[in-house]
Amino acid sequence: MTVEAMGRPSPFRGLMMDDVPLTINWVMRRAATIFADRPVVTRTPDGGRHRYTYRALAERAGRLAGGLAALGVGPGDRVATLAMNHYQHLEMYFAVPGMGAVLHTVNPRLHPDDLVHIMREAGDRVVVVDQRLWPVWEKIRERLPALAAVVVEDGTGPVPAGSLGYEAVLARGEPVPLADGVADDRQAAAMCYTSGTTGRPKGVVYSHRSLVLHALAEAAVDSIGLSERDTVLPVVPMFHVMAWGLPYGAALHGAGLVLPGHDLTPVGLLTLLEETRTTLTAGVPTIWLGILAELDAHPGRYDVSRLHTMLVGGAAVPPSVLAGLRDRHGLTVLHAWGMTETTPLGSVAHVPAGVDPRPGPEGDAYRLSQGRPAALVEIRARGAGGLVPWDGSTPGELEVRGPWVAAHYYGGDDDGKFTDDGWFRTGDVVTIDARGYLVIRDRAKDLVKSGGEWISSVALENALMGHPSVAEAAVIAVAHPRWQERPLAVLVGRGSDRPSDLELARFLAPQFPDWWLPDGYRWVDAIPRTATGKFLKTALREQFHDALEDRGRDRRGE
């Protein structure tokens, strides 16, 4: 009980130093003064480079805020982006929260129905679209008539009819001084949707305070260790959990930023890493698999000796990638675990004190684990009988809480993911050892993670069971050499007809993005079930684990 709650005024009221609002404006202010000349380099759509500094970024973000205000955007309004990693997107990252509005980064790879759902639910007023992604917007714009569209020009042609050019918007209003735009750091700054385990995607809302604390935490040496001496190239898209918070982390700590635009090919990335002398880069394992193959194919072609950290998360790093990059190319992988709901910094896999840090099985076991929670993040795991001991062997569903962990989903449907005592249920089944190291053993959520993007098993199953020849369908994740996981459908037939794989794919195609379609279909007499009658997916996953090993088929194509 506080002194004031006991009926006496606190003698300390107003004297303490904790009422400075931690806002994105404050991050911008620091970058624009202390780190004014640090560089931001973007690869432009024509293959060229756009270069400027944090000073110029802040100046343009102020003009953008003025332009958005002239379009009618006010405090609390949502402004969506359908955009890759480039300086204009970075300007949105600062201008929109900086003017008190909310940045909603949208994943352009989603199905049009999901895009419409999330943009409606978020209540977006304006959408800023890369010209190259205009076809994505074209498909849904009629269903979202209230949204104004702004196009980030790529020089390939005129701005499409019915939209405004980004530069014209910047030129339109009076610049807004972003220095003190937001007074309350618990105000929403940004939002991002993630795949729900049931139903539609779920909206996660980031406050100014959570983003600033997260950016601060990224500099701890036992987390990512961001510093002014770094140049950071986030390969992770800016529509995936705020590019893992790296744009804000870089600006706060003065690291240079390199934004790769739309070219995420191994050659394109390696060329850019070399040329910009990048020191830290970040992305999902699929990206590093491609980079490793390119480095192996052309030893000595790329000088990436400045690169000290390749941050890998979003899916487990394969041991062969960690060892291959290190042993053949002298590159260090730093494995981390996180989620959209955790902004995403959850845990980082450094080797603990007292363990030999040199390459070898002991240290590598830690490097390949999901690591230890970042400072201020708390973890626990729950099994059938309650919280499990931290013995490194008893599995349980991981629960987390912390100042940058979501408290609810936007829109009111919590999907059963938050406990009564305020922890977030991750859906990852882990063991925790005595030092707090996590290892993911399984997944409680019924989803497939393919190249860093989610595919809903349940949605595919429901659609398949709508086929007249399918009585039961279970969709499972199976290992894939490039995408790590791909969906495989296990089916029980109805009647005597067994449609071909192609017929089934054609049946599903109108309802899902192409990369969601199963890579294979297997007919069985019966699907094993749990005691409660649910599909026993662990048994299916075991049975079909290698079902796609021989397949090089790529539905995910970029």
The residue whose Cβ lies closest to ligand AMP is 340
Give the x-and-dash track for 72-101 against ligand AMP (CB under 6 A): ------------------------------
Candidate list 417, 445, 449, 537, residue with the active-site label:
449
Shortest distance, CB of residue 60 to ligand AMP, whole angstroms? 29
Distances from the Cα of 423 to the Cαs of 97, 233, 387, 418, 533, in angstroms? 26, 32, 13, 6, 29
Q: Report the 10 Å Cβ neighbour count for 394.
A: 15
For residue 454, indicate whether it is catalytic. yes
Please say which residue, 211 or 316, places its beta carbon nearer to ligand AMP.
316
Give the x-and-dash track for 351-390 against ligand AMP (CB under 6 A): -------------------x--------------------
Shortest distance, CB of residue 418 to ligand AMP, whole angstroms? 15
Site stretch for ligand AMP (CB under 6 A), options 17-25, 122-130, 409-417, 426-434? 426-434
Pairing state of beta strands 164-165 and 148-152?
Answer: parallel
Shortest distance, CB of residue 316 to ligand AMP, whole angstroms? 4
3-state secondary structure of 168: helix
Q: Position of tokens 């339109």?
A: 172
Are 347 and 373 in contact by the 8 Å Cβ rule? The answer is yes
Please say which residue, 415 or 472, places its beta carbon nearer to ligand AMP.
415
**Token output for 558:** 């970029």
Crossing angle of helices 24-33 and 208-217, rounded to 10°:
50
For residue 523, indicate whether it is catalytic. no
Please say which residue, 86 or 335, places its beta carbon nearer to ligand AMP.
335
**Token output for 497:** 């007809």
**Token output for 200:** 């539609």
Give CA torsion, residues 221, 225, 230, 233, to 10 deg: 160
Shortest distance, CB of residue 176 to ligand AMP, whole angstroms? 32
Please say which residue, 77 or 399, places its beta carbon nearer to ligand AMP.
399
Euclidean distance between CA atoms 144 and 245, whole angstroms? 29
Candidate list 121, 341, 399, 485, residue with the active-site label:
341
Please say which residue, 140 or 429, places its beta carbon nearer to ligand AMP.
429
Shortest distance, CB of residue 346 to ligand AMP, whole angstroms? 8
Please say which residue, 28 or 475, places its beta carbon nearer to ligand AMP.
475
Candidate list 42, 81, 105, 194, residue with the active-site label:
194
3-state secondary structure of 229: coil
Site stretch for ligand AMP (CB under 6 A), options 83-91, 358-366, 421-429, 473-481? 421-429
Phi/psi at 32 (5° precision): -80, -15
Segment 289 to 348, residues that bind ligand AMP, using CB under 6 A = 313-316, 335-340, 344
Instruction: Give, rounded to a whole angstrom, the gap between the first and last alpha carbons of the chain.
Output: 56
Helices (H) and strands (E) in the chain, counts: 16, 26
Shortest distance, CB of residue 244 to ligand AMP, whole angstroms? 9
**Token output for 227:** 């510093």
Segment 188 to 207, residues that bind ligand AMP, using CB under 6 A = 194
Are 201 and 193 in contact by the 8 Å Cβ rule? The answer is yes
Burial (CB count within 10 angstroms: exposed 0-12, middle 13-18, buried 19+), residue 115: buried
For residue 390, indicate whether it is catalytic. no
Segment 476 to 535, residues that bind ligand AMP, using CB under 6 A = none
Shortest distance, CB of residue 221 to ligand AMP, whole angstroms? 20
Please say which residue, 66 or 427, places its beta carbon nearer to ligand AMP.
427
Segment 433 to 452, residues that bind ligand AMP, using CB under 6 A = 440, 443, 449
Euclidean distance between CA atoms 266 and 333, whole angstroms? 16
Please say which residue, 81 or 426, places its beta carbon nearer to ligand AMP.
426
Please say which residue, 397 or 461, places its beta carbon nearer to ligand AMP.
397
**Helical (H) or strand (E) element with 494:** none
Euclidean distance between CA atoms 34 and 253, whole angstroms? 9
Please work out the total of residues on this chain that contact ligand AMP, with binding judged by CB under 6 A: 21
3-state secondary structure of 274: helix
Segment 457 to 476, residues that bind ligand AMP, using CB under 6 A = none
Shortest distance, CB of residue 490 to ligand AMP, whole angstroms? 22
Q: What is the DSSP string of 405-428?
A: S-SS-BTS--TT-B-TTS-EEEEE
- The residues, any chain, with a CB within 8 Å of residue 439's CB and separated by 6 or more, are 369, 370, 392, 430, 431, 433
Segment 240 to 299, residues that bind ligand AMP, using CB under 6 A = 241
Tell me the catalytic residues.
194, 341, 449, 454
Contact residues toward ligand AMP (CB under 6 A) are 194, 241, 313-316, 335-340, 344, 370, 426-428, 440, 443, 449, 454
